[in-house]
Chain A
Amino acid sequence: MQTIEHPLPCLSESDTQGIIKGRDLFGYVGIEAVLDQMRRKTMKAGFEFNIMVVGQSGLGKSTLVNTLFKSKVSRKSCTPNYEEKISKTVHLQSVSHIIEEKGVKMKLTVIDTPGFGDQINNENCWEPIVKYVNEQYEKYLKEELNVNRKRRIPDTRVHCCVYFLPATGHWLRPIDVEFMRRLGKIVSIVPVIAKADTLTLEERLEFKQRIRQDLQANGIRVYPQKEYDEDAEDRILNDKIRENIPFAVVGTDKEHQVNGNKVLGRKTKWGIIEVENVAHCEFALLRDLLIRSHLQDLKDVTHNIHYETYRVKRLNESNANGLALSPLTLENGTLEKSDAESHL
């Protein structure tokens, strides 16, 4: 009997990109079991997701967040006897909840920005928001540079910022342009058209086209950004999403009977607007983007791109100032006191 020798598949020196396909292996190695292990570990640990909602008062931000996560997670639902008053300054409120589905736990933090764009003079109303985002990056950076690091650094960085545009049907307003220009550089922005049940389908298409033109003309990059598409498959998927941005949404927490089914919708004298019906509004598309398909991608983009940009900038600043990590400088150049860490 002849022994047939099969050379073991291995990487040769000249093979820089050797990928050994599963069918070339001798037998079943069990590499794919690592996916199960990962899944079990992450299910035990849980996920964190921080979403910020920005827009003028009355655009339905809290209602939309409640509808997205099918539970009362917004600040409005948490404070009883809530009387809506226009606050004089922009201040940020964050509310955290732990929601669970099929054994997967998620710590969801909703950061609300009441007072944005409500005053007569709205100059610099975006500054508190920029400051907040940078502060979260700073916190994470400090933890990372610590000698005794925690095993899992608590992640309070803003993963996604949903910006609400009023459904005027015309164009982007100057305040929208200013805000998105500034925040598009440090956070992933997802613009949505709020209360879109006031636009007919043709008006909606025209409005979206004009917004996309405006965004391009002003150099504003919204999520998903073209530059971060990793491969062709991603690009095809993201191109489809980009054709539909911004999503026209309608939010509600009330249910009505339609054709014998209970659906989430708004009942008016001329019909019922079904929130989850794709022919009526694009809420389902937004939900799929934010939760079902791109949630992990949002976190990755925040961690790998926005956070890294911030980190590089800060470390360069401190290098210029010597070895110590310099105190945090705000946008307008004033210094803010913070402990200096000398671990570089």
Chain B
Amino acid sequence: MDTMMLQEKLVEKLLCPRTRTTRQKDKQYVGFATLPNQVHRKSVKKGFDFTLMVAGESGLGKSTLVNSLFLTDLYKDRKLLNAEERINQTVEITKHTVDIEEKGVKLKLTIVDTPGFGDAVNNNECWKPITDYVDQQFEQYFRDESGLNRKNILDNRVHCCLYFIPPFGHGLRPVDVEFMKALHEKVNIIPLISKADCLTPNEVKKLKGRVRDEIEHFGIKVYQFPECDSDEEEEFKQMDKELKECTPFAVIGSNTVVEARGQRVRGRLYPWGIVEVENQSHCDFVKLRNMLIRSHMHDLKDVTCDVHYENYRANCIQEMTSKLAQDNRTDSPLPILPLPTPDGETEKLIKMKDDELKRMQEMLEKMQQQMHEKDQ
């Protein structure tokens, strides 16, 4: 598979420090070409973080796919509810965090799951808890950014949302359309066709075409792959084009390893054959994994920071300034969120710490004076 090898080459290029620079020993050689190298080493030390949200009805294989993508078992202790508990279930948000390390690079991966989405009889506004959660993360980041101590900001913003479309229907259902419309301006949405092993190749093509048409028809802005630079290799451009034409990806996930063609592969064993998850002719899992992890993870984070977060911030500030104008007060020079007023307990603690600090400062001054007198 040529495209696979090319993908590997690209990854190698990104991972290895550029060794070309060390060969040049010119007098004109300044040496700042090693900057990418330095950035690389610093970020490897710091580690990366990535927040991925999975959304869709229950039973579409979301947890299985996440386990397959990151080759871990994040859902070991999941408890399945019985009938009565399910009738009154509401949409909740659960977070699982796991630290993965590969070749010295650390990744802090957070998976945000949305159990209960779309399961009830009446699913009106079932996406509201999800949009509220995304907004909350933005708000928390905004607050931290505008705060006084900015050294350790925790970035919990959702970088990407994988939305699972059931393969049973004939395209997008009303609940799919409403969910994506509510979230497409806040998160990078990547629609996926789940459980693609119940579709023949023709059906997959037809369904993908219909989903693409409906996404365009409803004006949903899903995550677009960035255009290749014109100086990239021709084959890379070809691969990129293929990738774009394949959306939405039809995926199959598996928690089990089976024996196929003499090898042990991740797959599903049926009486009529074995579905291999990593076989490109069976499903688009490999394309999704490459896109999500190997080539576009950083781009997803950038788009979240530069586009979605900035939109949120602009909206927020606009609201605040319009509110201030309404209240007839002078515009504050710095548009900052009002600091949360601490309650009684923390106020006491702050006061205690303040007193302690003052005492220590006085002691320091005294000691300094003594030393000064000694010297003289």
Contacts and interface: CB of A to CB of B under 8 A. Distances in A.
B270 interface: yes
Nearest to A118: B173
Contact of B86 (A169, A171, A266, A273): A171
A270 B121 contact: no
A120 B124 contact: yes
Contacts of A57: 169-170
Most buried by B among A166, A218, A270, A272: A270
B80 A174 contact: no
A114 to B, nearest CB: 11
Nearest to A217: B83
A270 B201 CA distance: 11
B274 A270 contact: yes
A268 B121 contact: no
Contacts of B170: 57-58, 84, 86
Interface stretch (B106-114, B192-200, B238-246, B300-308): B192-200
Contacts of A37: none
A267 B200 contact: yes
Q: Contact residue range for chain A?
A: 35 or more
A118 B174 CA distance: 8
A175 B126 CA distance: 15
A86 B170 CA distance: 9
Contact of B273 (A119, A214, A270, A279): A270
Nearest to A279: B271
B237 interface: no
Most buried by B among A123, A194, A268, A273: A268
A172 to B, nearest CB: 7
Interface in B62-89: 80-84, 86-87
A292 interface: no
A235 interface: no
Contacts, number: 119
Nearest to A274: B272
B43 interface: no
Interface string A40-84: 000000000000000011110000000000000000000000001
B122 A122 contact: yes
B135 interface: no
Contact of A175 (B59, B83, B84, B121): B121
A186 to B, nearest CB: 20
B272 A120 contact: no
Interface of B: 57-60, 80-84, 86-87, 119-124, 126, 166-171, 173-175, 178, 195, 197-201, 268-276, 281-282
Given A171-B86, A173-B119, A214-B83, 5 more contacts: A166-B59, A195-B168, A197-B198, A200-B268, A200-B270
Interface of A: 56-59, 84, 86, 118-123, 166-175, 177-178, 194-195, 197-198, 200-201, 213-214, 217-218, 266-274, 279-280
